Structure 1
Amino acid sequence: REFAKTVYTMAAVPGPGWLCHPCAKATGNDPFKKPQGPRKKKLPADKRVITSFEERRFPSLVSLCVQLITKYIDDVESLGDIGTLNVEAISKALSKNRSLTSENVQLFYNVANTTLTLYDATNLSPDAFQTLAFLNPNLTTLRLDFCGQINDEAFNTMSSSLPALTELELLGPFLVRPPSWINFFATHPNLERFLITQSPRFDLECLETLISSCGSSLQELRLKEIGKIDDEFLQELSRLGSDDYRHRLTYLDLSDPGESCGEEAMIDLLSALGPELVYLNLSNHILLTDAFLSEGILPHTRILRSLILNNLPELTDRGVASFFESWSNNPPLVSLDLSRNHLLADNALTAILEHSGEALEELNVNGWRHLSEDVLISLAIRAPELRKADVGWVRDMTDFVVKAWVDGTPQGGVETKLKGGKEEKDPNAMQVDTVVVRTGGCKKLEEVKVWGCNRITLKCPRRVRNLFSDMKRADGWFVEGHEYLWY
C-alpha cells in the first residue's frame, strides 16, 4: 500500500520499511503522541517540624458574658446596671472589633461618670461627641482614641459642657482648629494632663494659650506627631520654668515631629524643665547628638525614671557610654528605649547596666546590631528586675542568651570547645539547672521580642511553667517575633 511519508510516520520493527498510521496504532504505538521531556527533580520537602505550644483553654464565664453582651449590644440597656469593670471589658471588646457606634456608645454614658475611655471612636459622628459631653457632665478624665471626626463644633460643646475636666488624651483630632483649642484652654485653667497625638492644626498660638492659662497646673504634656513643632515651640515651653509659673511638669513627650528641633533649643528647654521631669520622650529629633546628652540631660535632670530616645542617628557608642558613666546625679532608670540607634554597641550597654541595671524593668535596644553575646548575657546578672526586653535585629542574640536570662548564667561562664577546627559552646549550657549550676537570671521576665534574630533556633527555651510567681501572665511567658510563641 502506498501512503505519504510525514514526520509522524513510524519505521517498521523489524525493518526495512515504514508503517502507515493505522498499522502503527495496531502495534500499540501512537504516532501522534508527543514525546515526554526529562523528568524534573522533585525538590526535597521542608522537613522541619514546628511544634505548636499554644494550649486550648475553655473560655471563662466572664468572657462568654462579654461576648454575648457585645453581640446584643443594642438591647443591653434592658439588663440594668452591669458594673463598671464589665462595662470596661465590653468597651474594649467593641473597640477591638471596631463596633462602637453612635447608637451603642450610650451604654457607657452616665451622669455620675468621672472617667471615660473610648479606645476606638472611629465610627462616632460629631453629634455623638456632643452627646457625650451632654450626658457625662462631671467628667474629670477623658480619653478618646481615633477621634478623627471631632470637629470645632463638637469640641467647643465639650469645652463648655465639661467644666470639671482636668485630664484630656486624644489620638487623631485632625479637624480641631486653633480657635477651638484656645477656647478649651481658656475655659480649663486647672488642666493637669494634656496628651494629644497627630493634631496637624495645633500651632504656636495654641501652645502660648496653654502655657498662659494652664501652666501652673500642668503636670503631663504630650505633643506627639505635631507637624508644626519647632524651636519656637521649645522657647515657649521654656516659660514654664520661670518664676511666674513654678511649673509642676513631670511628663514631657515631644516625639516624632515633622522636622527635628535644634540641639541648642532642646538644651535650653531641659535647663528650664529638666530638674522636675520623670518621663522624657524626644524620639526622632534627628539633629540631637552626644552633646545633647552631656550638656542637656546630664546637668539638668535629677529624678528622671523613663527615657526614650529612639532613632537619633547622631548618637555614638562612646558618647552614650560616657554619658551614663557620668550621670551620677540621677537615680537608676526604670525604663529605657534607645532603639534604632545603629551606632550603639557594647560600650553603651555596659555603661547603661552599670548605671541603671539594678532597677531597669524595660529595655529596648532594637537595631543594635553590633552588640556582642557576652554583653547580652551579662543582663542576667546585672538586670535582675528586667520584665520586658526588645532585642530585635541584634545579630548575636542566641539561645544561650535567652537561657541565661531565664535560668541564670552557668558558674564560670559558658565554655567553648573546638570541634572540627571551629569553636562551639558547650551544649550543657542549654540543659536544665540540675546539670549546670547557675547564678542570677531575670526572674521577673515577662516578654522578650526577638524579631530578626536569626540565631534563635528551636533549641531555645520554649516553655517555662511556674517559673515566675509574680508574673502578670499567670500562664507563663513568651518570646515574640520568631516562628513560635512561648506561653
Structure 2
Amino acid sequence: MSRRNNVRGPTSALTEFLRESGITPTTIARRATTQAQVQNQPDVGPSNTNADQDEVAEPSRMDEDAEDYASDNLDEHEEEQSAPKKRKLTKAAEAKLKAKEKQKAKRKVGADDDNDYEEEDPYNALSKMWKGDLPKPPVGSFEECVRCNKQFTVTKYTLPANPPPGYLCHMCAKASGADPFKKPAVPRKRKPATDKRSVVSFEERRFPSLASMCIQVISKYIDDVEALGDIGSINMDELAKSLARNRSLTPHNAQLFYDIRNTRLTMYDATNLDPPALSTLASLNPNLTHLRLDYCGRMDDEVIEAWSTSLPNLKRVELLGPFLVRAPAWQTFFKSHPALEGFLIVQSPRFDLECMRVLAESCTGLRELRLEEIGQMSDSFLEHVESLAGHLTHLALSRPGIPEALSDQALIDLMAAVGPSLTHLDLSGNINVTDAFLFRGLKLHTQRLSSLALKNTPELTDAGVAEFFDTWADAAQNAGYTSVPRLTSIDLSRNHLLSSDALTALLRHSGTSLTNININGWKAVSQESLKSIADFAPDLRKLDMSWCREADDWVVQALIEKCERIEEVKAWGCQRLTERCPRKRNVNIYGVEAQ
C-alpha cells in the first residue's frame, strides 16, 4: 500500500503515549544505528567538524525492519524513512539543493501567512505541532543530526530542523540556508501611540494681548491717569469688563473708576477688593445712587456700616455673594436708607426674616426686590413682601435654600397683593409651583407682566401651560383690564413635561411681542412647533432651544430668514443639526456639534 494513503488503523494506548513523548519507530532505529557506528569508530570527537559535509548517511536495514513495528509508522514522511544513497555531490548539485531548500522555506512561510497549509498529510501536520514543543537539549550534551546522522555537541547556536523534530549540526544548518552564528536583529522601538482624541482646550499666547498691555500700563501709572482726559462712561464700562475677564481689579487700579461726580458705579469682579478697599469706595464716591458689585465675597459688617454713613443718596444696590454680612448690619443699612428703591442680592445666607421685616417697614417705596438663593427663605417672608404692594414692579424669589420652602398657596396670595403692579416675575427653582398658580395667581392678578421666569418648576404640565396662555387674554378682559398683558421675555427652561401644545399657545398669545425665548430642555417639542417660532415671533432676538431633539437645520434656516433681528441661537444637544447648518452675519449660533 502506498504511504500517501490516508487510511489509519487503530492504535494502542502505549503507541499513542510513545508518539506523544516523541518516541517513534524511526527514532528508535536511528538510535540503534548511531550506537553501532560509535562502536565501530574508536575515536569520536566532540563535534563533526572534520566530517565530510557533502556526505549523507545511508539508511540501515534496521530502518527498513522497523517499518513493521507498529501501524503508527504511517505518520512519518516518506523522505524521513528513505534517504538517498551515500554519494558526493558536485558543486552544481549542491547549489541546486540549496536553492531547493530556500524555495521550500519560502513556500512554508507563505503558507503560514495565508493560513493555507501545504499539500501534506493533515495528521502528520498535527504531529509536527506537538513534536516542535519538545524542549531543547542542554548545552554540552550529544545529539544526532537529523540530516547527516552524525553526532555533535549541542551549543547555544544549535538550530532545530525544519521541519521538526530534531536538531541540525552547524554544517547542515549552513547548508540549509540558515546562519547559526547570525546575531538576532535588534527589535525596533515602537513609537508611543499618540491619542488622536486629545483636544487642545486652550491656546498658549506667547505675547500679551493689547487689552492686557493697556491694563498693565494704566495700573502702573494710575496716579497720572488724569492726563488721558475724559475717558467717557462707555469706555470706562468696557475697561471694567476687561479687568473682570482677567480678574485684574485691585485696590490700586480701582481708583480709576472713582470720582466724586459718579452717580452710577459697576464693578463686574470685586474678588480682590478687601474690606478697607470697599470702604474707600464709599468715601471716594459719596454721590452714588446706583451701585453694583459682583463677586463681593469679602464684604463684611464693617463695609455695610461704612456705606450706611458714606452713601446717603444710594437708591439701588445690587450685590452678588455678600456672604459675610450679618443680620444686624443689614438692618442698620435699611434704616439709614429709607429712600431705597432697589435691593437685589444673591447668595446671602445670613439674611433672615427679621431683615426682611426691617426692609419692608423702612423702605416702603421699594420697586425692585431680588432675594435669590437665600437659605432662610420661607412663607413668612412673603407676608412682608405683600406690604410692598402698589410699588413693587420687579420681584425675584428664585432658587431658595430649600426648594420646597415656598408653598403654592402662599405664592397665589402674594400675587393677589403685588401682582397688578408687577412687570417682571422670577420664581425659578420653586418646585411647589403648579398649574394652579398659573390659573389662580397669574391669570387673575397680573395685567402688566412682560417678563416671566419659571425655569425648573417640574410640576407644570404641558396641558396646563397651554390652557393658561390660551385663556389669559379672555381672563384679563373679564377682569376689566384696560390692556391685555403680552410677554416680551419668557424662560420656561428645565421643564421636561412641557412640549408642543405649550409652545404653540405661548406663540399665539405673545408671539408678536416676544424678543427672548428660553425653552431649554423641552425634549418632546415637535419640529413643526419649533419652525413656527419664526412665523409667530418676527422680532425675536435670542432663542435657547438646547436639548430640543427635533431641532434641525430647517428650524435654524427659518429663524435667520424670517427673524430679521435675531442675534443669538443656542442649540446645545441638538444632534440633528449638521455641518450644513446655515449661518448669517451677526448671528451667533452656539452648540452645533458637527461644526
TM-score of Structure 1 vs Structure 2, range by shorter chain: 0.7 to 0.9
The amino acid that maps onto 2:510 is S
Equivalent residue in structure 1 for 2:457, among 290, 293, 312: 312
Residues 303-332 of structure 1: CA deviation (Å, up to 9, x unaligned): 100000000001000000011011112422
Residue equivalent to 1:341:
495
The amino acid that maps onto 1:302 is Q
Equivalent residue in structure 2 for 1:358, among 512, 519, 524: 512
1:239 aligns with 2:387: yes
Residue equivalent to 1:431:
none
Question: What secondary structure, in the 3-state scheme, does the structure 2 residue paired with 1:138 have?
Answer: coil
Tell me, yes or no, if the aligned pair for 2:298 and 2:324 is still in contact at 8 Å: yes
Question: What secondary structure, in the 3-state scheme, does the structure 1 residue paired with 2:425 have?
Answer: strand
Question: What secondary structure, in the 3-state scheme, does the structure 2 residue paired with 1:479 have?
Answer: strand
Tell me, yes or no, if the aligned pair for 2:326 and 2:351 is still in contact at 8 Å: yes
Higher alpha-carbon Rg: 2
Residues 416-471 of structure 1: CA deviation (Å, up to 9, x unaligned): xxxxxxxxxxxxxxxxxxxxxxxxx1111110000000000011103x24xxxxxx
Residue equivalent to 1:430:
none
Question: What secondary structure, in the 3-state scheme, does the structure 2 residue paired with 1:443 have?
Answer: coil
More relative contact order, 1 or 2 (CA 8 Å, 6+ apart): 1
Question: What secondary structure, in the 3-state scheme, does the structure 1 residue paired with 2:409 have?
Answer: helix
Mark the CA change 1:103 to 1:21 in structure 2 (over 3 Å): closer, same or farther: farther
Residues 216-262 of structure 1: CA deviation (Å, up to 9, x unaligned): x1111100111111100112211223xxxxx3110001111112310
Equivalent residue in structure 1 for 2:374, among 208, 226, 232: 226
Residue equivalent to 2:328:
179
Equivalent residue in structure 1 for 2:423, among 239, 260, 278: 278
Residues 359-418 of structure 1: CA deviation (Å, up to 9, x unaligned): 1110000000000001111112111111100000000000111111122xxxxxxxxxxx
Residue equivalent to 1:369:
523
Q: Where do 1:53-92 residues align within 5 Å?
A: 64=210, 67-80=213-226, 81-84=229-232, 85-92=234-241
Tell me, yes or no, if the aligned pair for 1:70 and 1:90 is still in contact at 8 Å: no
Residue equivalent to 1:27:
179
Tell me, yes or no, if the aligned pair for 1:143 and 1:169 is still in contact at 8 Å: yes
The amino acid that maps onto 2:267 is L
Tell me, yes or no, if the aligned pair for 2:225 and 2:256 is still in contact at 8 Å: no
Deviation of 1:29 after TM superposition, in Å, equals 8.3
Question: What secondary structure, in the 3-state scheme, does the structure 1 residue paired with 2:349 have?
Answer: coil
Mark the CA change 1:20 to 1:181 in structure 2 (over 3 Å): closer, same or farther: farther
1:296 aligns with 2:406: no
Equivalent residue in structure 2 for 1:322, among 451, 467, 487: 467
Q: How far apart in 2 are the matches of 1:193 and 1:9?
A: 97
| More off after superposition, 85-94 vs 197-206 | 85-94
Deviation of 1:69 after TM superposition, in Å, equals 4.1
Equivalent residue in structure 1 for 2:168, among 8, 14, 18: 18
Tell me, yes or no, if the aligned pair for 1:249 and 1:273 is still in contact at 8 Å: yes
Deviation of 1:83 after TM superposition, in Å, equals 1.7
Question: What secondary structure, in the 3-state scheme, does the structure 1 residue paired with 2:520 have?
Answer: coil
Deviation of 1:65 after TM superposition, in Å, equals 7.2
Question: What secondary structure, in the 3-state scheme, does the structure 1 residue paired with 2:569 have?
Answer: strand
Tell me, yes or no, if the aligned pair for 1:66 and 1:90 is still in contact at 8 Å: no
Deviation of 1:73 after TM superposition, in Å, equals 1.3
**TM-score by structure 1 length?**
0.79
| More off after superposition, 96-105 vs 333-342 | 96-105
Equivalent residue in structure 2 for 1:268, among 413, 425, 434: 413
Tell me, yes or no, if the aligned pair for 2:262 and 2:288 is still in contact at 8 Å: yes
Question: What secondary structure, in the 3-state scheme, does the structure 2 residue paired with 1:252 have?
Answer: strand
Deviation of 1:71 after TM superposition, in Å, equals 4.0
Tell me, yes or no, if the aligned pair for 2:517 and 2:542 is still in contact at 8 Å: yes
Q: How far apart in 2 are the matches of 1:70 and 1:303?
A: 48
Tell me, yes or no, if the aligned pair for 1:21 and 1:31 is still in contact at 8 Å: no
Question: What secondary structure, in the 3-state scheme, does the structure 1 residue paired with 2:276 have?
Answer: helix
Q: Where do 1:92-131 residues align within 5 Å?
A: 92-131=241-280
Deviation of 1:124 after TM superposition, in Å, equals 0.6
Q: How far apart in 2 are the matches of 1:27 and 1:316?
A: 84
Q: How far apart in 2 are the matches of 1:202 and 1:320?
A: 34
Tell me, yes or no, if the aligned pair for 1:70 and 1:93 is still in contact at 8 Å: no
Q: How far apart in 1 are the matches of 2:342 and 2:306?
A: 20
Deviation of 1:270 after TM superposition, in Å, equals 0.5
Residue equivalent to 1:388:
542
Residues 3-52 of structure 1: CA deviation (Å, up to 9, x unaligned): 4478x85334699742569977972886867999xx9xx9xx99xxxxxx
1:255 aligns with 2:407: no
Tell me, yes or no, if the aligned pair for 1:74 and 1:103 is still in contact at 8 Å: no
Q: 5+ residue gaps in structure 1?
A: 47-62, 242-246, 408-440, 466-475
Question: What secondary structure, in the 3-state scheme, does the structure 2 residue paired with 1:327 have?
Answer: helix
The amino acid that maps onto 2:418 is L
Q: 5+ residue gaps in structure 2?
A: 1-46, 48-151, 198-208, 477-483
Tell me, yes or no, if the aligned pair for 2:408 and 2:432 is still in contact at 8 Å: yes
The amino acid that maps onto 1:300 is H
**TM-score by structure 2 length?**
0.65
Q: How far apart in 2 are the matches of 1:303 and 1:29?
A: 99
Question: What secondary structure, in the 3-state scheme, does the structure 2 residue paired with 1:371 have?
Answer: coil
The amino acid that maps onto 1:319 is G
Residue equivalent to 1:437:
none
The amino acid that maps onto 2:542 is K
